[in-house]
Copies of this chain bind each other. A is one copy, B any other.
């Protein structure tokens, strides 16, 4: 999703793609691991963007389908920019470094689950965690 495309989409529905909205979107694009509202607020405070705007923009983007809300088992709420193509994150529990891994074929698993439960499985959210090479060395 390029900035231009996003702008066009906003404009289509009579909404404006303001500097603030662009900044919020950019921030999430730059952080593939996602951010909590609190984190986004801290970063964007430097650019004088208010917390209220961040809440509103995140909800906007979420409704449009460009941000996805995920929670981890610890109860942290974060938002991730949905990416074209299906990728997953592999996150270091020590330093939070994240890499994307695009090869995931869960279709067999989804089929199995669909058969067992009679649900229509539309998708999944998958995140791996572990230790990155650096942290493994220094621990």
Contact = CB atoms under 8 A, between A and B. Distances in A.
A92 interface: yes
Contacts of A114: 130
A85 interface: no
Interface in A101-139: 101, 103-105, 109-110, 112-114, 116-133, 136
The oligomer's copy count stands at 2
A67 B100 CA distance: 26
Nearest to A63: B73
A14 interface: no
A129 B124 contact: yes
Contact of A133 (B118, B126, B127, B133): B118
Contact of A122 (B110, B117, B122, B129): B129
Closest 8 CB pairs of A and B: A122-B130, A121-B130, A120-B131, A118-B133, A124-B128, A120-B130, A125-B127, A126-B126
Interface of A: 62, 69-73, 75, 77, 90, 92-93, 99, 101, 103-105, 109-110, 112-114, 116-133, 136
